[in-house]
Amino acid sequence: MLVITNGRIFDPCHGIDQPGELFIKEGKIESVGTGISFPSSAPMIDAKGLIISPGFVDLHCHLREPGFEEEETIASGTQAAAVGGFTTVCCMPNTDPPVDSKSIVNWIKKRASENAVVNVLPIGCITKGRKGKEICDMAELAEAGVVAFSDDGDSVPDSQVMCHAMDYSRDFDLPLIEHCEDKSLTNGGVINEGWVADRLGLKGIPAAAEEIIVARDLALARLTGAKLHIAHVSTRGAVELIQHAKRNGVPVTAEVTPHHLTLTQERIMNMSNGGGQLKYDSDAKVYPPLRTQDDIDALLEGLKEGVIDAIATDHAPHTQAQKKCELELAAFGISGFETAFGSLMGLLHAGKIDLGTLISKLTCEPARVIGRGNDLGTLRVGAMANIVIFDVDREWQVDRPRFVSKGKNTPFDGCWFKGKVLATIVNGEILYQDDSVRVNHE
């Protein structure tokens, strides 16, 4: 049992925004509202001045297990997710071996049941071995419990294979999540193709490399009627393509990452940090690359207008050795769980996004993308008690040595954020709490 009192209960998708109490019993939300009854013996969190919202749902993360345990494990990754306010995470299948068979899905589910502190929903591959040649045994993967299919890390390069995968996936009503990258254009690219790449003498990754695959897949989704979800949208052109497709009834959804909403290509030079000395900062090396302010403006507009459905972290932990090397050799990716909310709150305080949009893109909307809108990302009575409590105004500084994630690779190190997750409750249990949060036992 647990009671959260005095907070602002906020579930924008379900029209809830009221002061009151929330009572959790047997892992489920028992009642919500003002003046609800609960046993006086129930442990209590006083959430005065705080917001109580559904726990965040992340459609896109890399837990690295099996195969890359030096980067992250299901245990360390889900603990980091809890710190970030995420109560459900969908893990990408580019592990070793990749998640292309029932036995690996079952292995991950077993590991998660033993080691995970948040809900872990596996994503299966689109093609066997992520090789882009033959489609996986999707029925078997679906039966084993994957929530989507993706070859994330690569696009499915062959249009015919992708077309077959879309057709075949319709039998299971699960989305195909596409990482959009035309490798013939990105090959060897390091950062966004633009003036920073010109200045630094780096090979650029043009926006067109992403947009070509977005356009192709939208055409295939229109052709097949399959559910398509575009991962980590980063360009204005991609937003426009998706907007156009949605207007024409194509069954597409899309996500954007916190870093693509907050950082631009200039970050790789990291000039402000360290006396204006130019750097080649691999912590800002990520695919898709950080783009321009114009792209950010389009992404924010896309969120507001519903072109982009979800904010997903693309949490991609790496070891120090994979990052502390020549920039061209450094791994792509940002360890994102623990900075996602804080960085997004900067957009709120800057007036770039409202709280309702922000929270719905982190909760019910991603849940709907995987067809779980009824039981995830909601404060509905009877749903599992997956809840986050946060303070909109709490200021804190990112200090990566203190990350719970094994991946310390963040471009936000040292940043001051305003807005912090103070407690994360998964299936009724408090799995993360800030030092300032007290649970009062009778």
Partner 1 sequence: MTISAVGSDASVQPLSGVSSGVWQHHHVLDLDEFSRGDIENIFKTSNIMRQILDRDVKRVPTLRGKTIVNLFYEPSTRTRASFELAAKTLGAEVLGFDAVRTSVAKGESLVNTLHTLEALGTDVIVVRHPQSGVPYIAAQEVNCSIINAGDGCHAHPTQALLDLYTIWRRIGKLEGLKVVIIGDIKHSRVARSNMWGMSKMGMKVTLSAPSTLLLRDIDQFISQSGMSHVDVVSNLDNAVEGADVVMPLRLQLERQEEGLLPSLREFTLRYQLDGRRLSLANRNVIVLHPGPIHEDIEIASEVAHGSQSLIEQQVTNGVAVRMALLYLITRTKRGDQT
User: Residues interacting with partner 1, by CB under 8 A?
Assistant: 193-195, 197-202, 204, 206, 277-280, 321, 324-329
Pick 191 or 239: Cβ nearer partner 1: 191
Pick 286 or 367: Cβ nearer partner 1: 286
Question: Can 314 be counted among the known catalytic residues?
Answer: yes
d(CA 352, CA 347): 5
Give least dist CB 278 to partner 1, A: 6
From the candidates 151, 281, 314, 391, give the one annotated as an active-site residue. Answer: 314
Give least dist CB 193 to partner 1, A: 5
Pick 193 or 391: Cβ nearer partner 1: 193
d(CA 284, CA 213): 23
Pick 206 or 366: Cβ nearer partner 1: 206
Give least dist CB 323 to partner 1, A: 11
Give least dist CB 219 to partner 1, A: 26
CA 14 to chain CA centroid, Å, is: 21
d(CA 29, CA 38): 12
Do 85 and 55 meet the contact criterion of CB atoms below 8 Å apart?
yes
Please state whether beta strands 252-256 and 310-311 pair in parallel, antiparallel, or not at all (unpaired). Answer: parallel
Give least dist CB 183 to partner 1, A: 15
Class of residue 14 by CB neighbours under 10 A (exposed 0-12, middle 13-18, buried 19+): middle
Give least dist CB 320 to partner 1, A: 10
Structure tokens at 222: 């229109």
Do 32 and 385 meet the contact criterion of CB atoms below 8 Å apart?
no
Pick 280 or 417: Cβ nearer partner 1: 280
Pick 20 or 194: Cβ nearer partner 1: 194
d(CA 225, CA 135): 18
Structure tokens at 60: 């896109």
Pick 329 or 381: Cβ nearer partner 1: 329
Give least dist CB 264 to partner 1, A: 12
236-247 and 293-305 helices cross at what angle (nearest 10)?
A: 20
Instruction: Give the active site residues.
Output: 314
